[in-house]
Every structure is written in C-alpha cells, then in structure tokens.
Amino acid sequence: MTLPSVFEPFKRDPTFYPSPKMAMRSKQEDIAYVAALYSGTRVSKPDFIAVVDVDPHSETYSQIIHKVELPYYNDELHHFGWNACSSSLCPNGRANSERRFLIVPGLRSSRIYIIDTKTKPREPSIVKIIEPEKVIKVTGYSRLHTVHCGPDAIYVSAFGNETGDGPGGILMLDHYSFEPLGKWEIDRGDQYLAYDFWWNLPNEVMVTSEWGVPNTIENGLALQDLKDRYGNRIHFWDLRKRKRTSSLVLGEDNRMALELRPFHDPTKLMGFVNVVVGLKDLSSSIWLWFYEDGKWNAEKVIEISAEPTEGQIPEILKPFKAVPPLVTDIDLSLDDKYLYLSLWGIGEVRKYDVSDPFKPVLVSKVNLGGIFHRADHPSGHELTGGPQMIEISRDGKRVYVTNSLYSTWDNQFYPEGLKGWMVKLNADGGLTVDKEFLVDFGEARAHQVRLRGGDASSDSYCYP
C-alpha cells in the first residue's frame, strides 16, 4: 500500500530507532566528529571539531578531512552531543525532530557552539554561538560538560557556578532555538558536586555522578584535596518532578565517580559507573547500580589494582612508587553485553562480558600508550598519553579511542608531552588494534568522539 502524499512532510529521521536492538542493525558509520583542543598546550590556537573519515572503503580513510575551527581561544572542548536522537520517539518525544546539530560546549569557557552537520556532513559549520554570559545569567551555571538529547529539551551538565564553586548541576536548552531555559533541578537536597548524568526515560529516573567543582579541578589534581573535595556518590532523581530522591556512597575511601552507563534496554533499571581512584591503594573500580526491593543499591563488581614500579613515572606519582590504572571512561555496547574500560594511567583498553552484570568476565585487552606500558601503535607510531575516551559503534564491532583527559591533568600525568591520537579497535570477538587506522592530531589533543548517525553513548530508548 502506498501512503498518501500528506504523510511525506512527517518522515521520521532514519537515524532514530525505537529500541537498541533495531539501532544495532543500522548501517555502518562513515564519519566521526572529534573534539580537538589546544587548550593547555604549547600552541596558541583555538580548538576545533575534527571531521574524520572512518569509512574503510574511502580514499581518505583514517584522515581528518575538515576542521570546524572555533573563533575563540581556550574553550577547552571536552564532551558534546546531538540536538535530537532516538529519545524523540518516546511517548512524550518530538518525532518530527532530526539529528542535525552538534551541541558543543567549552568546558573551560562555558560557551556553547551549535554546529550544523546536515547541509554538508563532511564540512559542517557553526550556525550559532551562545556566549557564556548568557548561560550564566539564565542558569547560574558554568563549566559545561555532558550533553544529552532528551525528548523534551537538550540537557547539559555543569561543574559549578561563575566563581568556580558549587553546586554543580544540569541546565536545559530549548530544542528549537537552543537558548538556555534555566536550571533543571527543583529540589536537589544536599547534592553539591556534579559530573555526568543519564536516565531511564520510561521509569522517569535521572542518575547523576560526582567529580568536583571547577576550583578544585581546573588547575590540575591536588592530592591534598582528594579525600574531602572530590566526589564518591551517585544521586537518583525523579525525572518528572526534578527532585533528588536518594543517594549512594560508592565506598568511603573512593573518589571521582565519573561516567554513568545505564543499560540501553529500558526494562532494566541498572547501570555501571567508574570510580577513578581508591585512596588506600590507588585502585580503580566499577560499580553496578540497580533498583531492587523498592530501593536503589550499588555493588562493586570490578576492581583493578595499581602497578608497582620503580621506573619512569611523573612527579605526582613518585611518592607512591606505583602507577594507578585511572579508569577514566567506560562504555556499554548497545546490546548491554560488553563493557569497555579505558585505563588511562596504565595504558590499556579492556573488554568485559557483563551478560551477568554482577559477575563481569574479562574477555580481552589491548595496550595503548600509558605511563606503565608505553605501548606504540602496531604501525610503529608512538602513542603519547593513554587511552581515555571510548566510543562504540552501534553494531558493537568497532571501538574508537582517543587520549586526552583534561588539559591540566594531561600535563601532570604526561609531562613529557601529549600529542593527540585516535585509534580504532576491532571488537567482533576479542580486541585487536586496527593497523590501518590511526589519526594523528599533532600538537592538538583529542577528546570525545561522536559518530554520524549515532553511537553507543549518544541515544536513549523507550522500547526494549
């Protein structure tokens, strides 16, 4: 049967999928958009969004084919996201929206860039800039971080206020004008520190995590602040009422609860979070948070020890004579079966089978850079820094990895210099480093990767 032409103006964005299972059957990505920064380096240039060709059949495969150069200095690009995604297909979503614009905040500047990728996907351009003064005036927040496309608005997390103190939280942008609307929180209770956030939309649950306020992180890691000024809690919220309902402490001696990865299947009220450092032994840990017996619970399911060494280590680690794993990013495949970890300190990417989320099983690991391993790319290219940001393709077969954490922290842990790179891991089975794929960013540093059409951490779903 042929639908009448009246339906043609309401065609759904073909990159939106009701469920993660359907998204896994989408076509392979051909373009990656990558945050690249000169902030904190020896080079005085504005940051840029790199357009990387990830199509293995292309003549420009593994190359930067375009740069969206920013007009200002020292934005410090970090995380960014889409204006709309599969959450638009939720019952209260806006199904006539489209995945067209990248929402790119400066972590250090609090400026927001709106980049159009539809007109020329391989040569996107800035179409709007929201200045930090406006963001601060309307929301009271600054130092912008995570971006998620919700069904009702665009959500952006922030570390703190204009003076660099707390509380940190979440602000909202209008879906159409991208103008800031205000603070998201109505009743935050004693929540003060902020970092990441995500949700389970059908159950109307928001989850947020903790790092620190700008004054304790912008100038680098201060060891004396670790115990008292870096977070170790996750918070649960009523998404509709915008009210914190409970909080969990992830170990009294643990600090920096960072990336939240809820299960993509919306019938599962659970997810993972990485804790970067344990104060007693420098270990990193992964915790499973879950709803059971009418309350939220958290259980440590993975622990990774520090590596003792008398070798070459940065000044900040010399008192410990060890290299901490520093698990600074995690990512969960769309089928909720595999969890990937980046060990930025040691220099590893690990793949765990989390079919039983309470008992993860290590499947494979590869060495990339790192203070401990100092492993080069199979091509022979030196990999400075360590694996940091991870992004998984929708079909789960490819993993893209970049190496910058945060400019001042880069300089502390890799004082010999960190040059940006992006590598691809083949993940159809165990993990192997793709010998043909290496993007050299030179003096610029590379952070988050977004895949055209969506990836494992860009979309949320309302149907299983």
Please give the full DSSP string across 115-165, using - where no structure is assigned.
Answer: EE-SS-TTS-EEEEEE-HHHHHHHHS-EEEEEEEE-SSSEEEEEEE-TTS-
- Tokens coding 375: 């492993």
**Burial of residue 290 (number of CB atoms within 10 Å: 0-12, 13-18, 19+):** middle
The three-state secondary structure class of 45 is coil
Residue 31: exposure state from Cβ atoms within 10 A (0-12, 13-18, ≥19): buried
The tokens for 12 are: 């759904």
Q: What is residue 81's predicted lDDT score, i.e. its pLDDT?
A: 98
pLDDT of residue 5: 52
Cβ neighbours of 241 (radius 10 Å): 11
Q: Strand pairing of 243-249 and 270-278?
A: unpaired
- Other C-beta atoms closer than 10 Å to the C-beta of 416 total 8
Ordered by start, the domain boundaries in the chain are 5-451
Q: Which token pair is 417? A: 């210099």
Exposure string of 359-375, with b = 16+ CB inside 10 Å and e = fewer, is: ebeebbbbbbbbbbbbb
Give all strands (DSSP E) within 169-308, no chain letters: 169-173, 180-183, 197-200, 205-208, 233-238, 243-249, 254-262, 270-278, 284-292, 295-304, 307-308
Find how far residue 301's CA is from the centre of its chain.
21
Q: Which pLDDT score is estimated for 8?
A: 53
Q: Which amino acid is at 341?
A: L
- Contact predicate 438/177, CB 8 Å: no
Report yes or no: 433 and 366 within 8 Å, Cβ to Cβ: yes
Taking the C-alpha atoms of residue 168 and residue 179, their distance in angstroms, rounded to an integer, is 19
Task: Please give the angle made by the CA atoms of 181, 185 and 191, to the nearest 5 degrees.
Answer: 140
Tokens of 9: 């103006």
CB neighbourhood size of 249 (10 A): 12
Identify whether the C-beta of residue 196 lies closer than 8 Å to the C-beta of residue 208. yes
Closest CA to 85 of 172, 23, 164: 23
pLDDT score, position 9: 58
**Strand bridging mode 348-353 / 307-308:** unpaired
In a 3-state reduction of DSSP, which class is residue 22? helix
Nearest 5°: phi and psi at 281? -140, 10
| CA geometry: angle 82, 88, 94, nearest 5 deg | 110
Taking the C-alpha atoms of residue 50 and residue 33, their distance in angstroms, rounded to an integer, is: 6
In order along the chain (464 residues), what is the average pLDDT of each group of 10 residues?
Answer: 53 94 98 96 96 98 98 98 97 92 98 97 98 98 98 97 97 96 98 98 98 97 93 98 98 97 98 98 98 97 96 94 98 98 98 98 98 97 98 98 98 96 96 98 98 98 97
Angle at 199 between CA 326 and CA 395, to 5 degrees: 70
CB atoms within 10 A of CB 190: 9
Q: Which long-range contacts (CB under 8 A, 24 or more apart) does 11-15 make?
A: 12/89, 12/95, 13/84, 13/88, 13/97, 13/98, 13/99, 15/85, 15/86, 15/99, 15/453, 15/454
Closest CA to 198 of 255, 133, 146: 146
State the Cα–Cα distance between residues 75 and 111, nearest whole angstrom. Answer: 7
Q: How many CA atoms lie within 13 Å of 204's alpha carbon, on the beta-carbon side? A: 11
Please tell me whether residue 223 adopts helix, strand or coil conformation: helix
The 8-class DSSP code of residue 282 comes to -
Length of the chain: 464
Residue 280: name the closest of 256, 252, 300, 301 by CA.
Answer: 252
Q: Name which of 80, 206, 193, 208 is nearest 145 in CA terms.
A: 80
CATH class of 5-451: mainly beta
**H or E, element range at 214:** helix 214-217
* Sheet containing 348-353: order of strands: 327-332, 338-343, 348-353, 361-367
